[in-house]
Chain A
Amino acid sequence: MTFTVTPLRRWRITRRKLLKGGMGLLAAGAWARFFGFFRHARAAETVRPPSTITTRLRINGRDNTFKLDSRVTLLDALREHAGLTGSKKGCDHGQCGACTVHVNGRRVLSCLTLAATADGKDVATIEGLAEGKKLHPVQQAFVDHDAFQCGYCTPGQIMSAVACIKEKHAETDADIREYMSGNLCRCAAYPKIVAAIKQARGATERG
């Protein structure tokens, strides 16, 4: 995984834009709702158009530039704008893990991450994990162990598992269960997910 250092200057500009635009608007909405001034909030929304900002994302090693509403989440940017539908919207609350991707090598919940905050960063999704036709050891292990049923949580499970192994949080069964507990599987393929991660851990260590 390559690590792109974000130029400080650009980060500042983006952040300022972000604060001026989307976040300010969001905050206004939140406070207005808090005090019950619903009408005022809506009036504000119609008066001020959503702020659009340029967001540069290096997705799976390829540079992309998007013009996005500053409130767009990384998950929506990937699914709706980059056409990468592998990351799933399970709960949209950051509590099921189906949307897990890597930003600069760390696992994040893309539904709780604003795309703008990933500006200039490396984003890795399930679509970029395999090298051509050769599956990543974690992907292969999930196939070998039938570590899914409906498959909807699988991209998130796999991205989480890759990071979990890298973080050295896959040393014991108990560790795997703990550090993978943010990824829900309603079909409850958990025993097989643990088995798959154990196999992949071995493969990545050897490889």
Chain B
Amino acid sequence: MLNKADLETNASIDGGMGQAKPHDSAHLHVAGEATYTDDIREPRGCLYAYVLKSPHAHAKIKKLDVSACSIPGVHAVMTAKDIPGVNDAAPVVGGDPIFAESEVLYAGQSIFAVAADSVDIARKAAAKAVVEYEPLPAILNTHDAIKAKKFVGDTYVMAQGDSTVLKKSKHQFHGAIDIGGQDHFYLEGQIALATPLENGEFHCWSSTQHPSEVQHLIAKMLKIPDHLVTVEVRRMGGAFGGKESQASLIACIAAALAWKSKRPVKLRLDRDDDMLMTGKRHPFHISWDVGFNDEGLIEGIDFTQAADAGMSPDLSNAIADRAMFHADNCYYLGNSKVTSYRCFTHKVSNTAFRGFGGPQGMLAMEYVIDDIARQLGKDPQAIRKVNLYDPKGKLKDRCTTHYGMTVEDNIIADIFAKIEKTGDYAKRREEIARFNRTSKILKKGLALTPVKFGISFTLTMLNQAGALVHVYKDGTVQLNHGGTEMGQGLHTKVAQVVADVFQIDLDKVRVTATNTSKVPNTSATAASSGSDLNGKAAEAACVTIRDRLIDFAVGHFGVKKDNVRFTPAGVQVDGKMLSFKELVQLAYTNRVSLSSTGFYKTPKIDWDRPKAKGRPFYYFAYGAAITEVIVDTLTGEYNFLRADLLHDVGRSLNPAIDIGQIEGGFVQGVGWLTSEELWWNEKGELKTHAPSTYKIPTGRDIPKDFRVALFDGDNQEETIYRSKAVGEPPLMLGISAFLAIRDAVAACGKPHCLPPLMAPATPENVLKAIQAVQA
């Protein structure tokens, strides 16, 4: 749609597509002036909320008496019974009560909430309630859930050919891995500020990735139409999936109290409550049977994935689906079967987290590759290359995934070739082997792992977006789109698209807060889709306005359409040059509309879930990483010495932002698989609910030598500027750190040993694996 010839005239604009511009809020961030929800000036009479949580993982509520809560300073108490509409904050199929009714299903579940003049008073008031429980037995892991046949969704299978042929293979083995969950630990905790307005309307500032859903759930809860509720989000202090569905509960509670007290109410969870009350990445138990030949070529594979969904479906079915989609990672599985159990447990309902199930599915596959290599005594890279989807696409039968999609854009062989060279893979492999022969206590490990990540919401309906663009008489532009800003630089990228279409400098474009009254019925900013969807929607809106301006110029100046061109120097009309502002002013005086919506829906995708066949993804994003680690085999502690990342973002919309996403995603992936351990006791109480016990990576934990590069190449699909999504895929580069640790552990045992390293590889788990291979 864009006329790229435009770019050839004159120098380029400041902040067009592909330029490494800083984040649009950079100057605000460094000055402490960026407004997050907790920083918004509170409206007059604002109240503060506190939520009482269940101490039990599973119990009947025998009695709930909140009459004693009405101490001075308390203005509203809300229980399940007080909700006029539907008591549910679930995103898809229900099951997430805003307040518990007769039964509690996890320790930390909200029972009721109080709004008072201060949080202190609200806390004191809540403690006065009489709540009597009858504790019941709790299911706390996937094993017990499967035994009790307790699931949050139907067991689902994807298959290709006949996986039982693996029994005829020369080499076969059974293996399994436990994979831990992960807390989002966004630095800005969950928060909402709800205000009742005139005529039954409500406004809610919510730190959410999904304003439209918050709007709908508040309306449903209050039994009022959607058009009475406006939800707004300026920015989030991190989200990572943790504010895709989880923010709804917080916003609903604030809105419920605002409805009852008829006053503005702010609910800001403190860190412990946040970690106890809201969902996390799904822990998984994945097992496999695999058959392969002397070359390491997989002849048949059978995966069983058990996802710990927690107490409700939330987004678990879609997440478990994505774990299945990525069970292959970059490899052709051939005769294969993936079976997925969505296990119910009496724990907080697990939810979206950067990667959305993909990381767990991929980790198991990479573990299988590692095991095959160790059994055959070969370098894992040799096994990887044998099993790749055919990179040239010539062998049609080696390009089809286990869910029937043809891999058309495979570039992983090129990425391998490049990173092996820039990362000195072979040479370092030898050096490390030499080091390990002479070093008794310290052992080094090295791993190279690839990523192939499918881009699109797997629920086809969600792949749509809207934007609203206004051009003002002074030639400045205001942009609003359905995406939310959580630090990923989405607003900057979409503003660059707008600047590029009009060929105006980026500072002429202002992105306003995401608001359900500007762009309706949006999808969550999730699935890495933000710039793909909203960039295209904004482009469509701008192109509409640009076409109107062109048509106007054609009529007004009596020139041919082809002779009106938007250039960095201004709008060229035949031999004459007008500034963008001049043309806009002229168009206004001649009554041309300077505002437009834009809409986009992703083409080509088609997924038949009942048949488990189709094309769920528009394209794939690829990448690879090499990580080197040194492990102290007496303590299980380790340091990452070097990491090389090579990642595919298509033609980058903004290289500065993309590199930040890649570094950050990798480190977050490393955190998931190393230091971040969620630990529940036998009663089902989460005991790691603060940074004192839950360790995310610090600046000290990142690799000493950290090299990040973008893979050079366009997206072969017609995405915005031929770019690729970048939010989630780099997280899975962190798998290389986990397998590097496993490699170092293997150096402690006999050749061909298979270290039983579980995730996260805490020093404790590393030590256990070392002891196992030394036994």
Contacts and interface: CB of A to CB of B under 8 A. Distances in A.
Nearest to A130: B31
Contact of B667 (A84, A90, A177, A188): A188
B32 A98 contact: no
Interface residues of B, number: 58
Interface string B469-503: 00000000000000000111100000000000000
Contacts of A142: 26, 29-30
Contacts of A146: 22-23, 26, 656-657, 660
A180 B32 contact: no
A187 B238 CA distance: 7
Interface residues of A, number: 55
Given A125-B32, A176-B699, A88 B188 contact: yes
Interface in A103-157: 125-127, 129-130, 135, 139-140, 142-143, 146, 148-155
Prevailing SS type, chain A contact patch:
loop
A150 B235 contact: yes
A126 B36 CA distance: 15
Nearest to B240: A186
A185 B700 CA distance: 12
Contacts of B101: none
Contact of B699 (A129, A151, A181): A181
A86 B664 CA distance: 23
B10 interface: no
Contact of B29 (A85, A95, A127, A151): A151
Contacts of B127: 42
B439 interface: no
Interface in A163-207: 173-174, 176-178, 180-194
A74 interface: no
Nearest to B654: A146
Contacts of B23: 146, 148-149, 151
Interface in A30-51: 42, 45
B201 interface: no
B227 interface: no
Nearest to B29: A151
B185 interface: yes
Interface in B36-57: 36, 38-39
A29 to B, nearest CB: 12
Interface in A88-108: 88-93, 95-96, 98
B300 to A, nearest CB: 39
B270 interface: yes
A189 B664 contact: yes
Interface of A: 42, 45, 84-93, 95-96, 98, 125-127, 129-130, 135, 139-140, 142-143, 146, 148-155, 158, 173-174, 176-178, 180-194
- Pick the 6 closest A-B CB pairs, nearest first: A86-B32, A150-B487, A152-B237, A126-B32, A151-B29, A188-B667
Interface of B: 22-23, 25-36, 38-39, 124, 127, 184-189, 235-240, 270-271, 486-489, 656-657, 660-661, 663-664, 666-668, 671, 690-692, 696-700, 702, 704, 706, 708
Given A45-B124, A143-B27, 12 more contacts: A84-B32, A126-B30, A140-B30, A148-B26, A148-B487, A151-B29, A151-B237, A158-B30, A185-B187, A185-B699, A186-B186, A187-B487
